[in-house]
Structure 1
């Protein structure tokens, strides 16, 4: 099978059916990347692909001048067979992988005290956020290590919760702290293969997942407070800048947050 020509490189975006994943996929495609959209919901992936066609350059003006290829692959990142099939599809179509944006994740059930959190809920969050990120990184690593030219970049979606927890968020917070360890290990192990790994920690990008922030969310003192959000396009712009660095340079950790959200200091 003839491999697809790529201009800027080939990128895999997990959790590409909505929110940050969709915004990043559109931005990458608009910048000339060929983008593989991975996620559990085929209809949502197709909506992301349509957004690329409507506004291929990712700037929101509808002029559609991006020229990267698009491939959608239904993937549950917590399932090893799905992950293997995803990266086999990447290899078959493009022959190489230049970027993985490890973005798929779930917050899990909200408002449940840790003493009442079902084990099944804990496992679902861990399997998606941490094990899924590992499986995708491992598969990407294998491709990047053996392809010619060798190397590539992995960007993990951490969170402000990789630094500071919210109340009643033990599963999500534990996985995001684990993501930081995954990022550091990938960075270290990838050096000899020209595989760079960085992490973006995001606070309150305006997506469906953060809609509750605008209604009021529980604070450390138990009170409810409305929190500021930022445009998700600003996250996508940051990821794009990280992705376009030469492999000799790396943003190890970037924190992008709504300026006035209660994170710095005491609130």
Structure 2
């Protein structure tokens, strides 16, 4: 539930990409609940506009901006639109991404598939940061959280190499940007969610429940899927003053490692 009560992000402006569903939607709602004005960016304009109306109906501030992070002009316009409406940018969550080919060995991935995933998942994050960072520096600093994955920290075991490579790249980009801008009061961190309920991870699809049951058994000590709200709260914390000395970190939100010898 969104409320308009003054919170720890009152007066702040937060941009969220991939805001039309899942983790992006959950993060946008949590920031709005805590008082932030939220710029909602995604390709699905109708869903972003519906979310903006939901936030505003509860007394919050929101702006929906149609955005494809694979297009440089869209990303530039996304940041410009937020600045035009709200006058500043304090935080950004670069969450937009696609799954790409699954159960596909590396040599069977086509060049078009490789390029599409990299253009959205890795280059898209870089494009967003390229325009977000100057806007934040103009306001005296801020915080960026890039959404990676546990597959940005370890190899994919489901024939998902393109996705894993893109998320490894996001983590390298995050750590490097944290070094570049830390002295300018701009923090850059990443979250690495485990298997979290979303359109991409939907156990309600035929045969999916058994598949995800096997995956969480291998990857999650808590033996369950994560919820989008759980990852969203970690993102909000990284953007908050409570994380003021956290920079260049990669926070796993995965229920803990399932690796054990018994």
TM-score using structure 2 length: 0.84
What is aligned with 1:216? 211
Q: Tell me the SS of whatever aligns to 1:92.
A: helix
Q: Tell me the SS of whatever aligns to 2:252.
A: strand
1:230 and 1:159 mapped to 2: Cα distance? 12
Which among 37, 40, 60 is matched to residue 37 of structure 1?
40
Preserved CA contact (<8 Å) 1:196 1:247: no
Structure 1 residue runs of 4 or more that deviate by more than 4 Å after TM superposition: 217-220
After superposition, the CA RMSD in angstroms is 2.4
Structure 1 residue 174, shift from structure 2 partner: 0.5
Structure 1 residue 204, shift from structure 2 partner: 1.2
What is aligned with 2:18? 15
Structure 1 residue 116, shift from structure 2 partner: 1.4
What is aligned with 1:130? 122
Structure 2: runs of 5+ lacking an equivalent: 1-8
Q: Counterparts of 1:175-186 in structure 2 under 5 Å? A: 175-186=166-177
Deviations for 1:167-203, whole angstroms, at most 9, x for unmatched residues? 3111100111111111111101112321101111100
Q: Tell me the SS of whatever aligns to 1:112.
A: coil
1:236 and 1:163 mapped to 2: Cα distance? 19
Preserved CA contact (<8 Å) 1:155 1:200: yes
Structure 1 residue 50, shift from structure 2 partner: 4.1
Which among 244, 252, 257 is matched to residue 255 of structure 1?
252
Q: Counterparts of 1:237-252 in structure 2 under 5 Å? A: 237-245=233-241, 248-250=244-246, 252=249
Preserved CA contact (<8 Å) 1:214 1:228: no
What is aligned with 1:82? 74
1:248 and 1:231 mapped to 2: Cα distance? 26
Q: Tell me the SS of whatever aligns to 1:153.
A: strand
What is aligned with 2:152? 162
Preserved CA contact (<8 Å) 2:101 2:162: no
Preserved CA contact (<8 Å) 1:18 1:48: no
1:39 and 1:263 mapped to 2: Cα distance? 34
1:201 and 1:216 mapped to 2: Cα distance? 21
1:96 aligns with 2:88: yes
**Bigger Cα displacement from structure 2, 228-237 vs 44-53:** 44-53
Q: In the comparison of the two structures, how many residue pairs are matched? A: 242
Which among 212, 229, 234 is matched to residue 233 of structure 1?
229
Q: Counterparts of 1:186-197 in structure 2 under 5 Å? A: 186-197=177-188
Deviations for 1:195-230, whole angstroms, at most 9, x for unmatched residues? 10111110011112111563415979xx9xxx7302
Deviations for 1:113-161, whole angstroms, at most 9, x for unmatched residues? 222111101101000000000000111111112x24x101100101100
1:242 and 1:209 mapped to 2: Cα distance? 24
What is aligned with 1:109? 101
Structure 1: runs of 5+ lacking an equivalent: 1-5, 55-63
